[in-house]
């Protein structure tokens, strides 16, 4: 099959900026923690995940019995909708219970190594524990507890009078969902940042702040956390192979499909493959591209691939990233609907509500946000700085189905020019939220 690979366009991103994309929270193993005083909208199911870098597996008398806490939603009455600890080289898990515990047998965790930990649990149903994207334990959940109005990382709860069973080391990229993530979703996304507007994502804390005691929520729900008892932000050597910020499609005048994706950074990445299928089924999709070599740089890179032998119909496309060690991750699908040019219909892609891009990015002094809405609904766009402070808001009113753009001149609500740094665009459309990030350079 003939295909055409178009030029990759690269944009330099300022390295010295307020928002440092390589930080984590350091826990002292004595009493430090990060706490969120919100129920996060969780009722009877959840998925919680994050990266840990333990530096001490032993400790005071309670540690050999209960372990060092990674995640906790327990309350003072001793109920545990969620409590995950590092007990030696294994994970000790309590879900929706008061006293039942489950200990993994094959985690094999050690100090000074990064691990991705995930737990999904349905009240009265099933609990699944994952390490590095793979399920290592399945248990029956309890039925006797209710998720409280607190969620704690790195300690069981700061109010515990004797010991908070603290974590020792680094924790990074914590995400909380009020849905059950499937094994495929866990495996496909644990190595890459997720979109803050992902369905079911109720808390997303990259922990990339450089100072202060507030861990800002990037999921748009404003559930910011507070660092306590000596927890602090510090540089982290955790690097994800590819940070993909978008994967989109357009249709050319010749009725070809052009796929575009933006990588914010890449590490040890061999390259990409593009797959296509006429149904939403990756398992038997056809690979239609040669290996598209990665740049493996820490600067933003735009890739474009053109499929010029597609015929009229509905098509699904996936993007696969392949590491040098042979592991891979898949993004998508994106759906494209092509009509027959001879039919007199204008080919097009079904309009969906989302943010398309912020361009130019980085920018100085102005940039433009492109977005679309699928049906008539109100749109409000708010801009925040990297500390979560509101800078500017735009009431776009009620928009009909279609694509729109909003220009921002880099000034706050008082007309004062904003400083260099990272700015978050949050679009509220109907009852959904969408976010994008841009960098102002002066």
Report helix, strand or coil for 183: helix
Each of the 442 residues of the chain gets a pLDDT tens digit; together they read 333 344 333 332 222 222 334 689 999 999 899 999 888 989 999 999 999 999 999 888 789 999 999 999 987 777 899 999 999 999 999 999 988 999 999 899 999 888 999 999 999 999 999 998 889 999 999 998 999 989 999 999 877 645 789 999 999 999 999 999 988 788 767 766 677 778 899 999 989 888 899 999 988 677 999 999 999 999 887 655 556 656 778 888 778 898 888 776 677 788 899 999 988 788 788 999 998 988 877 666 788 899 988 888 888 888 888 887 777 777 777 888 887 655 544 444 556 787 877 877 778 888 888 888 888 888 999 998 876 678 999 999 888 888 888 899 999 988 999 988 878 888 888 777 777 778 887 7
What is the predicted pLDDT for the residue at 233?
A: 93
Residues 250, 256, 257, 259, CA torsion sign:
negative
What is the predicted pLDDT for the residue at 208?
A: 83
CB atoms within 10 A of CB 268: 13
Class of domain 4-15+240-343: mainly beta
What is the predicted pLDDT for the residue at 324?
A: 78
Which residue intervals of the chain bear CATH 2.60.40.10?
Answer: 4-15+240-343
61/24 Cα distance (integer angstroms): 28
- The DSSP string of 219-252 is SSS---EEEETT-EEEE-----SEEEEEEEEEE-
Fold annotation for 23-235: Jelly Rolls (2.60.120)
Q: Is 0.85 surpassed by the pTM of this model?
A: no
441/360 Cα distance (integer angstroms): 11
Task: Give the right CATH number for 354-440 from 3.40.50.960, 3.40.640.10, 3.40.190.10, 2.60.40.2550.
Answer: 2.60.40.2550
What is the predicted pLDDT for the residue at 433?
A: 74
Residues 132, 207, 141, 104, CA torsion sign:
positive
What is the predicted pLDDT for the residue at 405?
A: 87
By C-alpha distance, which of 236, 220, 262, 421 is closest to 356?
262
- The DSSP string of 276-343 is EESSS-GGGPEE-S--EE----SSEEEEEEEE-S--SEEEEEEEEEEETTS-EEEEEEEEEEE--GGG
Give the distance, in angstroms, between the CA of residue 158 and the centroid of all CA atoms in the same chain.
27
């Amino acid at each position: 099959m003939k295909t055409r690979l178009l030029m990759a366009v690269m944009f330099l991103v300022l390295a010295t900026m307020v928002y440092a994309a390589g930080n984590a929270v350091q826990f002292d193993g004595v009493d430090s923690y990060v706490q969120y005083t919100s129920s996060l909208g969780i009722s009877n199911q959840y998925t919680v995940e994050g990266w840990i870098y333990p530096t001490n597996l032993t400790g005071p008398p309670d540690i050999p019995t209960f372990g060092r806490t990674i995640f906790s939603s327990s309350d003072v009455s001793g109920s545990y909708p969620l409590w995950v600890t590092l007990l030696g080289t294994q994970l000790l898990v309590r879900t929706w219970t008061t006293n039942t515990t489950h200990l993994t047998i094959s985690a094999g965790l050690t100090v000074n190594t990064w691990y991705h930990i995930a737990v999904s649990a349905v009240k009265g149903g099933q609990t699944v524990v994952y390490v590095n994207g793979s399920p290592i334990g399945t248990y029956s959940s309890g039925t006797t507890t209710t998720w409280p109005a607190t969620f704690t990382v790195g300690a069981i709860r700061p109010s515990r009078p004797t010991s908070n069973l603290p974590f020792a080391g680094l924790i990074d990229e914590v995400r909380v969902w009020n849905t059950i993530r499937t094994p495929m979703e866990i495996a496909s996304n644990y190595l890459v940042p997720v979109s803050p507007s992902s369905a079911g994502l109720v808390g997303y804390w990259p922990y990339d702040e450089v100072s202060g005691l507030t861990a800002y929520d990037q999921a748009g729900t404003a559930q910011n956390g507070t660092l306590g008892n000596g927890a602090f932000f510090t540089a982290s050597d955790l690097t994800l192979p590819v940070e993909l910020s978008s994967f989109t499609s357009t249709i050319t005048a010749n009725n070809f499909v052009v796929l575009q994706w933006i990588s914010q950074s890449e590490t040890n990445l061999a390259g990409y493959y593009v797959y296509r299928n006429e149904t939403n089924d990756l398992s038997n999709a056809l690979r239609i591209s040669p290996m598209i070599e990665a740049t493996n740089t820490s600067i933003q890179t735009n890739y474009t691939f053109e499929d010029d032998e597609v015929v009229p119909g509905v098509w699904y496309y996936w993007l696969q990233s392949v590491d040098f060690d042979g592991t891979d991750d898949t993004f998508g699908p994106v759906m494209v609907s092509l009509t027959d040019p001879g039919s007199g219909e204008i080919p097009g892609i079904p309009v969906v509500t989302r943010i398309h891009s912020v361009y130019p990015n980085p920018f100085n002094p102005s940039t433009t946000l492109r977005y679309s809405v699928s049906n008539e609904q109100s749109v409000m766009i708010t801009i925040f700085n990297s500390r979560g402070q509101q800078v500017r808001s735009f009431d776009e009113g009620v928009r009909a189905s279609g694509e729109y753009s909003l220009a921002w001149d880099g000034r706050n609500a008082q007309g004062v020019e904003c400083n260099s740094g990272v700015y978050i665009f949050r679009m509220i459309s109907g009852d959904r939220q969408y976010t994008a990030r841009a960098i102002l350079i002066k």
